[in-house]
Amino acid sequence: MKALYQKIRTLNGKNYGLYKSLADKPWDFGDFALEFLHVQGDPYAPASRVVIKANLSMLGYTGEWGGSFERRLALSDFLHRKLSRLVKEKYPDKDAAIVFDMAGPEMLVRNSLWIDNGELRACLQVRLPGEGRKIQAEVAAEILTMVLPDLVSAGLYYSKSDEAALQEHFRVLAERKEILAQLETRGLCAFVPDGAVLPRASGLSELPLEGAVPFTAPEQMAVTLDVCGREIRGMGIPKGITVITGGAFHGKSTLLQALTRAVYPHIPGDGREGIVIDESALRVGVEDGRSVRGTDLSQFVRDLPGGVSTKNFNTLSASGSTSEAANLLEAMEAGSRAFLIDEDSSAVNFLIRDVRVRKLLGDDREPLIPLTDRIREISAQGYSFILVAGACGDYLDLADNIVIMANYKAECAKSSQPGTCSGEAAVSSARPFVGYMQPLQKSVRPTSAVERQVKVKLSGDTLLQIGFLVSDTSRLNTLVDKQQRLGAGFVLLNLLQNAASNSESSDASNAGDSVAATIQKLHEKIQNVGFRNLPQGMSREMSLPRVVDIACVAFRLREGSR
């Protein structure tokens, strides 16, 4: 710390660009080191980025916290929230001298704070002060050698007063892992525990609704799980076809939304932390105007007028029913085994076909094949469906299980024995990553002559850009924030660049890997060591989505306007 202080003092009043000399080496603070990843070019440029590195033992933590994935995720997430809160309390204003990533209720692998090989890395933004183009050394020294160490000391070191809360963080993850294993052995695709709080405070909030009716499992679907030494009762949703029905405003979509978000673990106190679902589950709905490239839609769309085949379907602007069919089939290709569908966000002619219209037109004049005609066949292959249907009564006859939501309470109208639909999910025909991405490779390049690297950025909150490629992620409900969208973008950029390099070097060892299999290999590495080994992996705040989500982003890639 003293060396950094002295270095900064020598820069007082000098040209702002000399701040870059701070990145020449790591700076020793005793228990931890500080390293500059990026130094801003002027006071008004995007903030500098620094990383704090410390061995867990130096911070007072025992070796077990650097062991299993669940332990590392629990500690990383807990410390992330603590440090984030302290930074926000110290610098509440928009133009803060120090900025640290804010997290939602999900526990995710984040590059802003992660633990691997017994080492903690925390990445923060620091706005280096300047007056015009001159360095303000006194203020900079205070920020970097006084305020920042104090935040690290209060936010990252072990404190006995945090022990109970930290163990609760770990308990949620340990129980989730055990419940996921029991879902498989019991033939279930989801579990909602008694006492879960499903509603949120508002449509713009992730906080639980105060005074909400806690969930109670209907007796016919109740299961009791022995989890980590305690019994947990709740509603077990068997694999197969489950319909959630009921009147308007009685909690159907609220239950579905809670199940959708349950693909990720949630923090203690969120109300949804005990809800568990097949981790590959995906929300499927209509997506008017999305691009579709090379997808086989023949399961749901017969040949089009003029004999146009739908086995290799391409469009820059799909219709409602076509987009939903593509979403479902691509989700299967990406590895999803469970699908969540709400009739309110679906195309009617994808879900059902009116008997009178069917009789009038027949099949020869209607290329669309509704889900009602295919759902039993797909379910028999090992896939599960959870549908909200308040008006589409056709699904009541097709359902294995029917849950009625009445006054926010679940009732069971029909139930099957768990395990009756527990076969292995059939693998949908999967396109190789290299071949699928090859037509897009020419667009993976810097968007201006002055850029040295291909940039990944968001236009608005959901339009992801990778060089000249774009992917509209607005309807991917399981991408929960901007950080996850950027994480998906940087993973795909790395894979696209590697695919191009391997193609040029005639390395065909992985050329046949599917889109999902290619993503899975890199995903496993990041889940272990974080983003630090990914090119540009520490350049922005990002978190790790699931393989299925990244694959769905890839399927939506197209060339953007130039």
Cβ contacts of 215 within 8 Å, gap of 6 or more: 192, 193, 194, 195, 196, 197, 198, 234, 235, 410
pLDDT tens digit sequence for 212-228: 999 999 999 999 999 99
Q: What is the pLDDT, as a whole number, of residue 1?
A: 81
Does 298 have pLDDT greater than 80?
A: yes
Phi and psi, residue 296, nearest 5°: -85, 105
Q: Residue 534 and residue 551: Cα distance in Å, rounded? A: 18
The answer to whether the CB of 66 falls within 8 A of the CB of 123 is: no
pLDDT at 239 > cutoff 90: yes
- pLDDT reported for residue 359: 86
pLDDT band at 7 (very low <50, low <70, confident <90, very high): very high
> How many other C-beta atoms lie within 10 A of the C-beta of residue 492?
27
pLDDT level of residue 426 (50, 70, 90 thresholds): low
What confidence score (pLDDT) does residue 500 get?
A: 74
Q: How many CA atoms lie within 13 A of 400 on its CB side?
A: 24
Look at strands 338-342 and 282-283 and give their pairing.
parallel
What is the arithmetic mean of pLDDT over 76-84?
98
Residue 430 amino acid letter: A
Least confident of 296-305, 374-383, 470-479: 296-305
Dihedral angle, C-alpha 427, 428, 433, 436, nearest 10 °: 170
Please say if the pLDDT value at position 422 is more than 90.
Answer: no
At residue 53, does pLDDT exceed 80? yes
Q: What's the pLDDT band for 506 if we cut at 50, 70, 90?
A: very low
> Quick one: pLDDT at residue 95?
86
User: Containing H/E element for 5?
Assistant: helix 2-9
131 — phi, psi (to 5°)?
A: -115, 105
Helix axes 515-529, 320-334, angle to 10 degrees: 60
Across 183-197, 377-391, 418-432, least confident range? 418-432
Q: What DSSP string describes 50-111?
A: EEEEEEGGGGT--GGGGSSHHHHHHHHHHHHHHHHHHHHHH--STT-SEE-----SB---BT
pLDDT at 423 over 80: no
**85 and 157 Cβ atoms separated by less than 8 Å:** no
> Is 0.85 topped by the overall pTM?
yes
CA distance 162 to 269: 16
**pLDDT at residue 420 greater than cutoff 90:** no
**419 band by pLDDT with thresholds 50, 70 and 90:** low
| pLDDT tens digits for range 163-177 | 999 999 999 999 999
- The residue that leads in pLDDT, 335 or 423, is 335
* Three-state secondary-structure class, residue 175: helix
pLDDT at position 211 over 60: yes
Instruction: Report the percentage of the chain scoring pLDDT > 70.
Output: 96
Please name the residue ranges forming H helices in 200-287: 252-261
Question: Exposed, middle or buried, 542 (CB in 10 Å: 0-12/13-18/19+)?
Answer: buried
* Crossing angle of the two packed helices 547-555 and 482-504, in degrees rounded to 10: 70
Span 43-66, average pLDDT: 96
pLDDT higher than 90, residue 429: no
pLDDT in tens, 134-149: 999 999 999 999 999 9
The SS3 of residue 254 is: helix
Span 448-459, average pLDDT: 91
For residue 428, name the pLDDT band (cuts at 50, 70, 90).
low
Residue 465, both tokens: 């850009």
Distance of CA 366 to the CA centre of its chain: 37
Q: How confident is the model at residue 415 (pLDDT cuts 50, 70, 90)?
A: confident
Q: Predicted confidence band at 541 (pLDDT cuts at 50, 70, 90)? A: very high
Query: Is the pLDDT reported for residue 270 higher than 80?
Result: yes
* Residue-averaged pLDDT of the chain: 93
Query: Any idea what DSSP says for residue 146?
Result: I
- Per-residue pLDDT, 562: 63
